[in-house]
Amino acid sequence: MRKRVLFCATVDYHFSAFHLPYLKWFKEQGWEVHVAAAGKLELPYTDKKYNLSIQRSPFNKKNIGAYKQLKAIMDENQYKIIHCHTPMGGVLARLAARSTRMRGTKVIYTAHGFHFCKGAPLLSWLIYYPIERSLSHVTDCLITINKEDYQLAVKHGFKAKQIEHVHGVGVDTERFSRIEGFHKSVLRAEHHYGHDVFLLFYAAEFNRNKNQQLLIKAMGLIKEQVPSAKLLLAGEGVLLEDCRQLAKKLGVEDMVHFLGYRKDVEQLLKMSDLAVASSLREGLPVNIMEAMACGLPIVAVDNRGHRELVQNDKNGWLVGRSDIELAGRIMTLANSNNLRKQLGLQSRKIILEKYSLNKTLNEQKVLYAKLMDEMGDVQWAVH
């Protein structure tokens, strides 16, 4: 029987955005690749795709149906490996895989940032911590993408057979690369920005966690000192209109450009001077890694994911949830091209050393190979 692997997440965009190289690798090894998630995206390197009724909220009744769908899919296809991602994708897939795991299937869960962590709300600990800890008993390999989550899982006695730390999903350092001088001016002209404009960039969904309001407030504080500054906000979401109204209220609607959903993020990064990040909670943010690969300095709100990537005075700064502190760091960089260049070069160096796609793919391959070796020639029971 041909070897099959199932990838599961809450939404299929998760795989389109972050995991295509891993699907491709399994195809190259001769495996049949299946994906189960909500959505109707056509994904490359995929032999079969299932559109689940899975929902993000753990309290949505549709997740009962998604669980039943997953269990039927697993019983039918007899997977060798099931790799699940995202909180609800991880919960439902591991619950559904309990019986097939007893027949030899290896279950991997990548935690892209536990909802419970240092500084997280008590409610997150009350809901998500007991769920994750109990499901670790039916997990063969728990993968964390930052050191803080790894230490938390070990310290709190998670019972996965293996607990591993990898450096995220990786960044394509050829696609996301540094440009300067003439090439940067040309790219800016194509997007209707002059060479003397100071461009800040942030790509994220407009929601409470991403906290774009903090960035807009900081722009209100620097509008007199750095009138050439433009904050480019890519993304959509429920708080988009609120952020538009805040920019208008603070008199910075001409300085804050709402770009909507974009497919040209690498170009927007390459023409920018600074990447900013205001999120309250992150696991290991790909948007910041992409900015670093493009050689940008980073000013980001202090959280565990940003701490993994940003080193104060080396490639940028971590700041508190203060618009005054954020504005001060922005003004410092706006006034020093040499400092921006120095910090930006260190950003790219950090990515090349630890977070390039080749390096993270190799880390993941080692874990897959270890599980494959453990399986040997697994004989599947007919039922």
What confidence tens digit (pLDDT) does each residue in 34-82 have?
999 999 999 999 999 999 999 988 889 999 999 999 999 999 999 999 9
Residues 6 or more apart from 233 whose CB is under 8 A from it? 202, 203, 204, 206, 212, 215, 243, 256, 257, 258, 259
169 to 16, 289, 361: CA distances (angstroms): 12, 10, 8
What confidence tens digit (pLDDT) does each residue in 129-182 have?
888 899 999 999 999 999 999 999 999 889 999 999 999 999 999 999 999 889
What confidence tens digit (pLDDT) does each residue in 293-327 have?
999 999 999 999 999 999 999 999 999 999 999 99
- Looking at the predicted structure, is the pLDDT value of residue 380 above 50? no
Give the pLDDT of residue 383: 34
Residues 6 or more apart from 113 whose CB is under 8 A from it? 145, 146, 149, 281, 282, 283, 284, 304, 305
Give the pLDDT of residue 1: 65
Instruction: Write the DSSP assignment of 346-379 as a string of letters.
Output: HHHHHIIIIIBHHHHHHHHHHHHHHHHHHH-SPP
* Residue 89 backbone phi and psi in degrees, to 5: -60, -40
Whole-prediction pTM: 0.90
Which domains, from first to last, does the chain contain?
Answer: 4-170+357-375 (3.40.50.2000), 182-355 (3.40.50.2000)
- Looking at the predicted structure, is the pLDDT value of residue 377 above 70? no
